[in-house]
A and B are shown apart, each in its own frame.
Chain A
Amino acid sequence: MIIKVLGMDGCANCQKLKENAQKAVSELGLKAEVQKVDDINEIMSYGVMATPGLVVDDKVVLSGKVADVEEIKKLLGKEKK
């Protein structure tokens, strides 16, 4: 599973979402890689206009909000099956 956090450099909310995503992954014991994407071309390729965005296996699951660890866990659980 590849998890991408979309957000440009210097965006505090995006950093927070990345940390939450990492926590969610380790709490669930998933084999997943959490990447931070700050290239605007790649961010836009997902059609995300409000950062931070969360992409799981190339599917946008969240945009424009910092989800907490519990919420990300739920989202990841849904995407897993």
Chain B
Amino acid sequence: MIKAFSDWLVSQVFRLDINSKLGGSLNFFIYDTIKIFLLLALIIFIVAFIRSYLPPEKIKKLIKHRFEFIGNVLAALLGIITPFCSCSAVPLFIGFIESGVPLGITFSFLVASPIINEIALVLLWGLFGWKIALIYIFSGLVIAILSGYIIGRLHLEKYVEDYVYEIKIKHDTAKVHLSFKTRIKDALKYTKQIIKEVWLYVLIGVGVGSLIHGYVPADFLTKVAGRGNPFAVPIAVAIGVPLYSNAAGVIPIVSSLIEKGLPIGTALAFMMAVTGLSLPATIILRKVLKPKLLAIFIGIVAVGIIITGYLFNAIL
């Protein structure tokens, strides 16, 4: 239906040939924009509603007494639906540790939460199809589970800043009751707020993506960043890290680059680096992690992302 509408708009209203460069780009732009905004509104609303039942205080209780590996899996799964603002990373971390959640399990949550976020998911699903979206979720989960598990096995508790262990929660009063109506209202408000924050990035991203779709020759990237270049994956990861706040704009561009010869594994690694290894969150985590643990954490996640990139370049 959206496709028909966008075809109609381009051919009847703008009087352009859908198969021309300009018409093709415009058609692509209109179709993708409508699709993405519909999906964004729907998915963000659903996730925000579910999340109102899973505040961090509850998650903490759910993962506190788990065995190592099962705890990692559960923490990573819960991390999918509960993104946290980077300003909350420190209280979240301390709250987990204070209540006795093991360090490795805490990390599984901290890794999964930003890598697999609802905005990235919608864009992947809308632009790449559900198969790639699933592969992305699954790889993100594996990276989160394993990196948390490894950090747990390495017994790095002494590289957490000492004051963290001295903090005690005095009033455990952070229990706020919300009615069903409030939850719906909050979820709607949150959806509006997120769309307000990302709409411009999405438009720019899809716009640039459409131009690439229409104007860039099909095998443009095959030579520079194709399978033949063994360094493409790590380079893509290095470029991805500083782009955090623009995940909404980056993914549509990446989806067009795949058409132009960017291998899917390299693209996945790039997008995971954009969402998962964010510079602001890393700087904030330094407040609770000594440099060595921070470096190990970044190192393990980066290696995990790079391996994922190579793996999917090889099998897809």
A residues at B contact (CB < 8 Å): 7-8, 10-14, 40-41, 43-51, 53, 58-65, 68
Contacts and interface: CB of A to CB of B under 8 A. Distances in A.
A74 to B, nearest CB: 10
B88 A47 contact: no
A56 B136 CA distance: 43
Contacts of A8: 87, 90-91
B173 A64 contact: no
Given A11-B85, A44-B167, A64-B56, A51 B91 contact: yes
B169 A45 contact: yes
Given A50-B84, A50-B88, A45 B55 contact: no
A60 to B, nearest CB: 5
Nearest to B169: A47
A73 to B, nearest CB: 15
A20 to B, nearest CB: 13
A61 B175 CA distance: 8
Nearest to A65: B186
Interface residues of B, number: 30
A7 B86 CA distance: 12
Given A44-B98, A65-B186, A60 B171 contact: yes
A34 B168 CA distance: 24
A44 B87 contact: no
Given A40-B94, A45-B167, A50-B55, 19 more contacts: A7-B87, A10-B87, A11-B85, A40-B167, A40-B287, A41-B163, A44-B94, A46-B169, A46-B170, A46-B173, A47-B173, A49-B55, A49-B60, A50-B56, A50-B85, A51-B88, A58-B171, A63-B174, A65-B190
Given A13-B85, A41-B167, A63-B55, A47 B90 contact: no
A81 B183 CA distance: 25
A63 B171 CA distance: 14
Contacts of B176: 60-63
A45 B166 CA distance: 11
Interface of B: 55-57, 60, 84-85, 87-88, 90-92, 94-96, 98, 163, 167-176, 186, 189-190, 287
A14 B87 contact: yes
A64 B53 CA distance: 13
Contact of B57 (A47, A58, A62): A47
Contacts of B189: 68
A59 B94 contact: no
Nearest to A12: B87
Contacts of B175: 60
B167 A50 contact: no
B16 to A, nearest CB: 42
Nearest to B85: A13
A48 B87 contact: no
Nearest to A75: B176
A81 B272 CA distance: 50
A13 B95 CA distance: 20
Most chain B beta-carbon neighbours within 10 Å: one of A41, A45, A63, A68: A63
B55 A64 contact: yes
Contact of A60 (B94, B98, B173): B173
A51 B169 CA distance: 15
Contacts of B60: 49
A40 B85 contact: no
A47 to B, nearest CB: 4
A45 B287 CA distance: 17
A44 B95 contact: yes
A29 B85 CA distance: 32
